[in-house]
Each structure stands twice: as C-alpha cells, then as structure tokens.
Amino acid sequence: MNILLTGPQGQVGTALRPLLEPLGTLTALGRDALDLADADAIRAAVQRHRPQLIVNAAAYTAVDRAETEPELAQAINGVAPGVLAEEAGRLGAALIHYSTDYVFDGSHARPYVETDPPHPLGVYGRSKWMGEQTVLASGTPAWIFRTSWVYGLAGANFLKTMLRLGQERESLNVVNDQWGAPTWARSIAEATATLVQQARNSEDVADFIRRHQGVYHMTNGGATTWFAFAQAIFAQRPECRARLNPIPASAYPSPVRRPANSRLCNDRLAQCLHVTLPDWQDALARCLAELPPIPR
Ligand SMILES: NC(=O)c1ccc[n+]([C@@H]2O[C@H](COP(=O)([O-])OP(=O)(O)OC[C@H]3O[C@@H](n4cnc5c(N)ncnc54)[C@H](OP(=O)(O)O)[C@@H]3O)[C@@H](O)[C@H]2O)c1
C-alpha cells in the first residue's frame, strides 16, 4: 500500500511516521516538498505519488496568529484537505484527516458528540470546520478524527512550555476554568495505525474506510484543566519547582476566546471502530518516561 503523509515534522506527524512505515510504502512530504497553501502543487503531488491512503497530519495550528492571517489559515486548514480528498477520490484512495475541539464554542455542560453542531469562536476553529466540510463534500472515503490539547516531546506545546517555565520561573499563572483532555500525539498515532492496519487487513482499504467513514472524536480518556494538567506534569518532574497559581481564562491575555468546555465524547470511536485511547494520566506518564533522566 502506498501511503502519503503530510506534516511529518509536526507533533502528530512525527509520532505517525514510525508507526505507518511498517504498514506500506510511506512517502512523507514536509512543507518544503509540498506547500498545502498551493492547491495545484497538492494535485500534482497526489498524482505523482498515486497513494492508496493519504494521512493529512499537516495544519495551520497557530490559534492566535490565525486571527491576523485568516486567508492562509483557510487555505491550509479549509481548502487543502478538500483538494487532498478530491485527488484521493480520483485514484480510488482514502483520506485520514484530523480536526479539533475548537470547532465548538464550549458552551455545553457535557462532552461534545460528533452530531453536535459546530460553532467555532475564532479563525482557526472556523478554518478547521471548513476543512471537515470540504472533505465530507468530496465524497471520498474519509475518517476525520477530532482531537484536543495535543502534546508530545516533539514540537511546541503546553507540556514543553511547562517543563521549561517550571525550571525558569518562581511562579506561573495557569488557566483553571477551561476543561479538556490533554492528548499525547503518540496515542493519536497508535490509534490511527491500529485502524490503518485493520483497513489493510480487509479486502480494500478505501472500501473499509467508506463503510465506517465520517467524523470521530479521538482524545485520551478523562478530562482536566490546564492548571491541573500542569500540576500533574510538575508532580512527575521534580526539577519543575515554580509555584502554580490557578487563574481564570479572562485573566490570560489572548486575541481569541477558547472554549471553556473542550471535552469530546469518544464513544463513537469505541463503539464503531473499537478503539479507545488511554486515560490522559497514563499517556502523560508514558510520555514523561521518555524524557532523559534529571541530572543530579
Ligand atoms: N496542537 C493541538 O493542540 C491540536 C488540538 C486539536 C487538534 N489538532 C489537530 O491535530 C492535527 C495535528 O496537529 P499537530 O499538533 O501535530 O500540529 P503541528 O505540530 O503544528 O504540526 C503541523 C504540521 O503542519 C505543517 N504545515 C503547516 N503549514 C503547512 C503548509 N502550508 N504546507 C505543508 N505543511 C504545513 C507544519 O510544518 P512546519 O513544521 O514547516 O511548520 C507542521 O509540520 C492538526 O489537524 C491540528 O489541527 C491539534
């Protein structure tokens, strides 16, 4: 099976690469080889590599910056996934795409399910919702996995910021009124690879994905706040000595409002695709176990 992976240097892409490699012939195209803002380049790349499966782990993920670069965010997150899907469809191939909790405004008191109507609060969320719609409108067999609060040891993320500031600062203010599931990039990659393996074991990957196609929520289990997530990180890393202060989101300056409730219900993934990601505490412990030991 020819697999085309975009965003191989991102958090999820980095985790996906070694897990997809054994499942087929993997072509990984970073931004230097394929700029997703260029629709013609996407069409040419897909036609050249003729994949049976495209895994789109690339995205414009700078949530605040997107407010001042709406066209670019829309091109990469909204238009490009649809072009990838259309081109995959021409080849009889399938697409795996990732989306976000930020398609919701967070006003519900319960975890969001896939059938809840999106209502994004900012440019990034709107661009990701557009991407979901362009993929679904293509008619190409596709899985769209919505995830949340992604972290890992690669890339820039909350975990790495906390590990750094926890050593540099005396005290840190962290938001304590936004709820969500921190999700290890590796957990997303493992779940994705398990599903690709299942599809590959069936008669035809695209047919398998078509039979189960659509939007699925895919996060580590449980939920917490950014503040409690930071506490859990510090509890496992004694070198992080900064005092943690809980603050409301209203006290944290940002050009865009984040959902207060980012919790996504993962039942559909468990019931229809038989995949469950570990609880966020277990995933965090596994991730931190891969950090080099603390020098004495
Ligand atoms: N990060 C989160 O907290 C979070 C939460 C919910 C959902 N998600 C979704 O999960 C998926 C994976 O996110 P992630 O955290 O792995 O993102 P990430 O670490 O920011 O990686 C995104 C990748 O996309 C690449 N990219 C950006 N613009 C591009 C362009 N014009 N052409 C080609 N490649 C481009 C980046 O390349 P460069 O390395 O060159 O910049 C980077 O490698 C995305 O769909 C994201 O929306 C993420």
Query: pLDDT > 70: what percent of the chain?
Result: 99
Residues forming beta bridges with residue 179, ordered by sequence position? 225, 261
The tokens for 155 are 């890339």
Q: Is residue 170 part of a domain?
A: no
pLDDT at 253: 84
Give residue 9 CA to ligand 1 midpoint distance, Å. 8
pLDDT in tens, 229-253: 999 999 999 999 999 999 999 998 8
Q: Which of 60, 102, 124, 151 is catalytic?
A: 124
Q: Is residue 257 part of a domain?
A: no
pLDDT at 295: 63
Q: Which domain holds residue 12?
A: 2-151+183-220+265-278
Q: Is residue 156 part of a domain?
A: no
Q: What is the average per-residue pLDDT within 163-175?
A: 97
Residues 182 and 151 sit within 8 Å (Cβ to Cβ): yes
| CA–CA separation, 296 and 239 (whole Å) | 10
Q: Of all protein residues, whose CA lies closest to atom 2 belonging to ligand 1? A: 150
At 6, which CATH number?
3.40.50.720
Give residue 58 CA to ligand 1 midpoint distance, Å. 4
Q: Is the CB of 38 under 6 A from ligand 1?
A: no
pLDDT at 203: 76
Name every residue whose Cβ is closer than 8 Å to that of residue 236 and which is 6 or more positions away in sequence.
284, 285, 288
Q: Is residue 62 part of a domain?
A: yes
Give residue 64 CA to ligand 1 midpoint distance, Å. 14
Place of tokens 């510090």: 234
124 is catalytic: yes
**Per-residue b or e along 70-94, where b marks 16 or more CB atoms closer than 10 Å to that residue's CB:** eebbbbbbbbbbbbbbbbbbebebb
Q: Is the CB of 224 under 6 A from ligand 1?
A: no
pLDDT at 292: 80
Q: What is the average per-residue pLDDT within 284-288?
A: 98
pLDDT band at 286 (very low <50, low <70, confident <90, very high): very high
Q: What is the average per-residue pLDDT within 7-22?
A: 98
Q: Is residue 255 part of a domain?
A: no
| CB burial of residue 122 (10 Å; 0-12, 13-18, 19+) | buried
Q: Is the CB of 258 under 6 A from ligand 1?
A: no
Strands 94-100 and 171-175: unpaired
pLDDT in tens, 123-166: 999 999 999 999 999 999 999 999 999 999 999 999 999 999 99
Q: Is residue 188 part of a domain?
A: yes
Q: Is residue 234 part of a domain?
A: no
Place of tokens 């890339």: 155
| Kind and range of the H or E run holding 53 | strand 53-56
Looking from the CA of residue 102, the nearest atom of ligand 1 is: 6
Q: Is the CB of 58 under 6 A from ligand 1?
A: yes
Q: Is the CB of 147 under 6 A from ligand 1?
A: yes
The tokens for 44 are 């040419």
Q: Is residue 128 part of a domain?
A: yes
* Number of independent structural domains in the chain: 1
Give residue 10 CA to ligand 1 midpoint distance, Å. 5
0.95 exceeded by pTM: yes
